[in-house]
Amino acid sequence: MIPGFTEGAHHAWELDAALRFHSALGSFSGGRILVGVPLGPYRCPPAPYEVQWMLDSYFKRRGMRERVSIEFFTRDPEPAGEAHDPVVWMDAQSKQRNISQHYEFIVHSIDPKRKIVIGLYGYTLSYDLLFMVPPHRPAQVLYDCGLADQETGIRVDYDTMETKWQNVYAIGDCADMPASKAGVVAHQEGDVLAHNLKVRITGHGVPTQLRLHTI
Ligand SMILES: Cc1cc2nc3c(=O)[nH]c(=O)nc-3n(C[C@H](O)[C@H](O)[C@H](O)COP(=O)(O)OP(=O)(O)OC[C@H]3O[C@@H](n4cnc5c(N)ncnc54)[C@H](O)[C@@H]3O)c2cc1C
């Protein structure tokens, strides 16, 4: 989905990739590390911030933090609002750790030979080591069977998780919800759906609607 990603980018969203990144870090002797997120949905929005901070701690522990420039790019604008808003807080935490933030950078492709990330509108960022969160798409089987008809997942009713098929529901990362692709979301959706199914099957109780608590 992102030309050059497979050859050029590390990530930790799957075990094999995480192990490869671990070994690349072990042999990294200094330079510019880019951490970035794609356009569109990805799993666990706070995780790329955790990656930045873990890299900061890791290189401090190795006594070489001053030889490493850690930089983050995101498609989002610079966060604004109350200091305790999660994204504002995370942004501030990164800046406190001397991690530069590149906002509104929309990745188009990666050129692994020249070691640059190419963004829309001619913007580029060079790197020595690139960590990029992979974009998320529903499993192919969900497209093949017609349940998912768009890249963001299976269309659901936001209150009840019903799909357009009778007695078929979708929860978790495969559902097209205006919420994070996160376990905490899947969990709350599961609770509501389990309750409503119980009410329907037993005829006891009152159906409820999803009221997500998430960032
Ligand atoms: C690095 C990382 C950090 C994260 N950190 C957090 C966090 O701190 N907090 C948080 O809330 N969330 C976090 N998440 C997100 C969280 O893991 C997911 O949102 C959550 O697992 C979604 O659950 P799910 O059941 O919808 O999908 P999944 O957990 O992806 O489960 C889908 C399952 O379907 C299986 N499957 C796929 N295709 C087929 C098929 N054809 N046949 C049979 N089985 C199939 C897959 O193998 C998988 O087991 C993180 C994710 C990552 C990658």
Could you tell me the CA-to-CA distances from 102 to 76, 77, 95, 175 in Å, in that order?
A: 9, 9, 11, 30
> Is the pLDDT score of 214 beyond 80?
no
Protein residue closest via CA to atom 47 of ligand 1: 139
Model confidence, pTM? 0.90
Q: What is the tens place of the pLDDT at every residue in 142-190?
A: 999 999 988 889 999 999 999 999 999 999 999 999 888 999 999 999 9
Tokens of 157: 């009713």
Domains of the chain: 5-132 (3.50.50.60), 140-202 (no CATH)
What residues does ligand 1 touch, defined as CB less than 6 Å away? 12-13, 43-44, 47, 139, 141, 172-174, 181-184, 186
Decide: 158 and 210 in contact? Cβ < 8 Å: yes
The confidence score (pLDDT) of residue 149 equals 82
Q: What is the tens place of the pLDDT at every residue in 41-61?
A: 899 999 999 999 999 999 999
> Is the pLDDT score of 70 beyond 70?
yes
